[in-house]
Amino acid sequence: MTQPIISVEGLEKTFTLHVQGGAVLPVLKDVNLAVQPGECVVLHGPSGAGKSSLLRSMYANYLPQAGRILVRHRDRTVDLLKADPHVVLDIRRWTIGFVSQFLRAIPRVPTLDIVAEPLRARGIDDEAARTRAGELLDRLQIPERMWSLSPVTFSGGEQQRVNIARSFTAPFPVLLLDEPTAALDAENRARVVELIHQAKDRGAAIIGIFHDREVREAVADRYFTMEAYGAAA
């Protein structure tokens, strides 16, 4: 078996509810997960089991209280929990892509530029980045007449397709997908499934949450079942 490209070891995360007298809410406890290149692991479990919290921790949006998150980055292994901020930003630029449930679009920035930005951040020239962005927007059925508009006025499904296009523009070795197909119709869900399979074929490690059963079954190589206050493989 090849070396995991990303792994979680003994991860623990709690939230302190300051508006409720400082109550401590345990979310993740002793989570252990290793994902190989070309593998799609689906996080599975009830609401409140910490699935989204695990993804956000793996993207360094959340800081767990204990454990390690090891990722292969630039031919070395980095512990995200100990990495300096500039290293985290470099990992997000080159190694880990993230599709959140909602697009956080900047007003007045055209859709085409939002989707092309991950390639520009890698030094790809503007024309090539915009061409690749256009290909993905077209594939996800965002009409060309909308590419020059900011997606802040788009429908929820359109915004989510822009979000997906942006994260699949660059060939990230790791993709974290938090309900990428929740707001999509059947045809666009199928297109996203195709993108996931293509990413797996080039060797990407994918960890995702998919409430749609058909999508889960179409992309999962294995399931990682999570329960409230902990997880088990």
Given a cut of 50, the residues of the chain with pLDDT beneath it are 230-233
Domains annotated for the chain, with CATH where assigned, are 38-62+82-232 (3.40.50.300)
**Residue showing tokens 């199928």:** 190
- Cβ–Cβ under 8 Å, residues 179 and 160: no
Q: Distances in Å between the alpha carbon of 180 and those of 68, 79, 111, 120?
A: 26, 26, 18, 23
CB atoms inside a 10 Å sphere around CB 80: 22
Q: How far apart are CA 58 and CA 45, in angstroms?
A: 18
pLDDT of residue 20: 64
Beta strands in the chain (DSSP E): 6-17, 23-35, 40-44, 66-73, 76-79, 96-99, 174-178, 205-209, 222-227, 230-232
pLDDT of residue 47: 84
pLDDT of residue 25: 77
**Residue showing tokens 């309900």:** 179
Q: How far apart are CA 220 and CA 123, in angstroms?
A: 33
pLDDT of residue 231: 43
pLDDT of residue 153: 87
